[in-house]
Chains A and B, each alone.
Chain A
Amino acid sequence: MGMKRGDRAMLGILMVILVASGVVWGTRSMTAAPDAMTAEIIQDGKLLQRVSLKKGDPAREFAIEYKGGRNRLKAEDGKIAVIEADCPDKDCVKRGWLKRPGDSAICLPHRLVIRLTGESEVDGVTW
């Protein structure tokens, strides 16, 4: 089955997008994650909390409530994950550990975004 003009144009567009994001992703995974990062916990577009994450931190857990819904988070050794959620899809739990700046987990039913940023916050909230 030969490719037509439009097919080739679409393939070209795809290649440009994939190569560009491949370069970004490649450089990101080559650089080691910094020892200290901040996790931003954003609900409904508003920043709820900043959690500072450091290598070697002991494990700590906390819960985020949303209109009767609940996500339990766990931070440990410079990384963070959603470990429990009472929503039907549990996509945020399946996402697993967030370890690098830019990593994020999303819970649509609870309007929740958890995203890591590279900066370390001196005055970040710690548990």
Chain B
Amino acid sequence: MKLKNLIITGSLAAFAVVFNMFEGSLPMPLPGIKLGAANVFSLLALILLGVKEAFAVTLIRVFLAWIMTGNWFALLCSLAGGLMSATVMSFIYIKYRDDFSLPWISVAGAWAFNVGQVSVAALVVNDIRVLLYIVPLLAAGTAAGWVVGWLALLLCKRVGSLTDINS
């Protein structure tokens, strides 16, 4: 990883952590639902830098959030969700970029996150019926994922030129 990429990855991860913390203090109508603004920065990393950097931003954000909150269950849910989300978004972005717009790639990431988090919840309480909770999560995840992808697209247009200068 080039020094410049390392610095950008670190900055994006820092932004992701801050947004993650801020979001954690907002009240949400149902447990497990959030905007996921931190994902803006994973998406930016994926587009501006690459798959490796997107995973780095996601993992750094998840672990730092855990260190700050100490919540093991949130860690397990975010880790499973974050890895699923980064995998799906990277796959679509690399293979099928022409068929999807960025907001919908982000929605696919949100769905993958929801599948990951609800699977962890079902495993933790050892009850398969918990998986039904995926339905409200998907509905909220679609809206949140779309907004996040749209924000990422906006930011991408603004900061994209920065990375072109000497890469």
Contacts and interface: CB of A to CB of B under 8 A. Distances in A.
A42 B32 CA distance: 20
A91 interface: yes
Contact of B104 (A6, A91, A94, A111): A6
Interface stretch (B43-51, B60-68, B120-128): B120-128
Contacts of A5: 99
Contact of B139 (A18, A42, A91, A94): A18
Given A10-B107, A111-B125, A89 B74 contact: yes
Contacts of B142: 14
Interface in B31-84: 31-32, 69-74
Nearest to B105: A6
A99 B103 CA distance: 38
B130 interface: yes
Nearest to B134: A17
A67 interface: no
A73 interface: no
Nearest to B121: A108
Interface residues of B, number: 29
A4 B135 contact: no
Interface string A4-19: 1111001000100110
B88 to A, nearest CB: 11
B125 A21 contact: no
Q: Which interface class (under 10, 10 to 19, 20 to 34, 35 or more) fits A? A: 20 to 34
B99 A42 contact: no
A32 B96 CA distance: 48
B92 interface: yes
A44 B71 contact: no
| Highest count of chain A CB atoms <10 Å: which of B107, B125, B139 | B125
B71 A7 contact: no
B108 interface: yes
Contacts of A89: 31, 71, 73-74
20 contacts: A1-B101, A3-B101, A4-B98, A4-B100, A4-B104, A7-B100, A7-B103, A10-B100, A10-B108, A17-B135, A21-B135, A42-B127, A89-B71, A95-B31, A106-B125, A108-B121, A108-B125, A109-B73, A113-B125, A115-B129
Interface of A: 1-7, 10, 14, 17-18, 21, 42, 44-45, 88-89, 91, 94-95, 104, 106, 108-109, 111-113, 115
